[in-house]
Structure formats: C-alpha cells, structure tokens
Structure 1
Amino acid sequence: MSFSKNDRKVRAESGSSFPLDPSADTEATFAAVIADALRRDFGSTPAHVKHIARLTGANGRTVQNWLNARNGPSGAGLVVLMRHSDEVTTAVLGLADREQLRHAVDLSKNMASLKTAINSVVALLP
C-alpha cells in the first residue's frame, strides 16, 4: 500500500494527550496553559512568533500551534522555553502542583526588581 501525496498535510484527530492528574483543580489542558503563558510573556504578534522560533529552534508554524494551543511543546522545547520565560516556568510548576517552587520563582523575580529599583535610587543620591 502506498501513501497518498497529501498524507503529511493532514492533522491527526486522535493521539496521546498530556496526562493531568484527575484530582487536579485545573480545567485547562497542557497546551492551553503553555499558550497562555507564552502570550503573557512574548505576546502573539508575528515578530514574537519568530523570536520564540529562534529561541527554541522550532519551526514558525510549530510556534503558532503552541500559541493557538493546538499542540504543546516537546520536552526539549519546553526546557528551552522555561529557560527564557518566567511565565512558562511558573505555568509548568503550577501544572506540577509545586506551589512552593512557584512562590520561590515569584520571590526571586520580586527581589531582582527591588534590587534594580534600589540601585537606581542610590545612583541619584549625592
């Protein structure tokens, strides 16, 4: 049996999905949570799609699928996104039900912005 020439252009309707804990109190799927985090951190304009594609080494269409919550990133792509995006890191920690780590990430972000504010005020002092 030979495959048709259009076999790679058809999107599969069924497949494996991200296994969420049935007792989790989240209604969103993995792809939707990552898409929301990416939009919060990078936006959804075409320039941001190209920027995310350059960061991860993924195709632009793949990144568009992530932003539209059609698919979620693979493990390697997710690690790269977490390296460059605090929002994605926080979202993944929330899905993993790791609230203490999530608060530690938020605390470190707040400390960094506080240090920046203090340094700018100290620079203005005589």
Structure 2
Amino acid sequence: MSFSREHRNLRADSGSGFPIDPSADTLASFAGVIADALRADFGTSPAKVKHIARLTGSNPRTVQNWLYARNGPSGAGLVVLMRHSDAVTAAVLALADRSELQRGAVLQRASEELRAAIAYFLDCLGQE
C-alpha cells in the first residue's frame, strides 16, 4: 500500500531550515556553488555524470542532482571531488571564507613551476 499523493513528501520545503549564522547563507548557496564548480571543471560532455559518479562512488542520479543544484555532495563525496577538481576546492574555500588558503596554494604551485623552469633554463645554458 502506498501513500496518497498529498501524504508524499520527498523533499523539505525551501525555507524550512534555521541558519546558524544569519549573515551567512551557505546552506542555500552550497549546492549552487558546487554545481557551478563541477560544470566549470568537468565541462558539458554527456559523459561527465558517469565520470564524476565513478570518481566519487556515487549513483549517477545523485551526481545529476549535484549538477542541477538540487542537492550538494556529502562530506566524503565532497572530499573526493576536492581531490580531483581545483574549481570545487576553490569554491569550498570561498564558501568557508578562506580564500587566502587558495591564493597561498596557487602561489606555491607557481613558485615551484618557476623554479623548475629556471633550473631547466640554466641546464640548457650549461650545455652550450
């Protein structure tokens, strides 16, 4: 026996949550920000849903809900996405108001690339 249509409620109505910090609306924007980051990093190919599902071990329908910003990933799924996507990492750090960590990582990576380029250039000069 199934419930009648009026007694089926699969999702909570919007606005039913009580924000911890009234100035930060992270719950409402979390799913949207993650969806934008996923679309930016994984592109518009039809295979992106299967690719993200394989990476996270999630159901493809769940991944579609992430991409349509209906839901956001759980903690474990979010960590896996951050491991594989710079855009998701930057989005999470921006939501946490920790953009300085992202800038520090970008500067460190650029510094390492510059050191490698200088070392290569000096090696080339030494061979001549």
Is the shorter-chain TM-score for this pair beyond 0.5, marking a shared fold? yes
1:45 aligns with 2:45: yes
Opposite residue 94 of structure 2, the aligned amino acid is G
Q: Aligned to 1:69, what secondary structure does the other structure show?
A: coil
CA distance in 1 between partners of 2:4 and 2:80 (Å): 34
Please state how far the C-alpha of 1:113 moved relative to its aligned partner: 5.1
Higher helix share: 2
1:36 aligns with 2:36: yes
Paired positions, count: 121
CA distance in 2 between partners of 1:103 and 1:83 (Å): 17
1:12 aligns with 2:28: no
Please state how far the C-alpha of 1:11 moved relative to its aligned partner: 3.7
Opposite residue 11 of structure 2, the aligned amino acid is A
Opposite residue 94 of structure 1, the aligned amino acid is A
1:64 aligns with 2:70: no
What's the Cα RMSD here? 3.5
CA distance in 1 between partners of 2:18 and 2:105 (Å): 24
CA distance in 2 between partners of 1:95 and 1:18 (Å): 18
TM-score under structure 1 normalisation? 0.73
1:54 aligns with 2:54: yes
Please state how far the C-alpha of 1:114 moved relative to its aligned partner: 4.2
Structure 1 partner of 2:76: 76
Structure 2 residues without counterparts, runs of 5 or longer: none
CA distance in 2 between partners of 1:18 and 1:106 (Å): 35
CA distance in 1 between partners of 2:58 and 2:25 (Å): 31
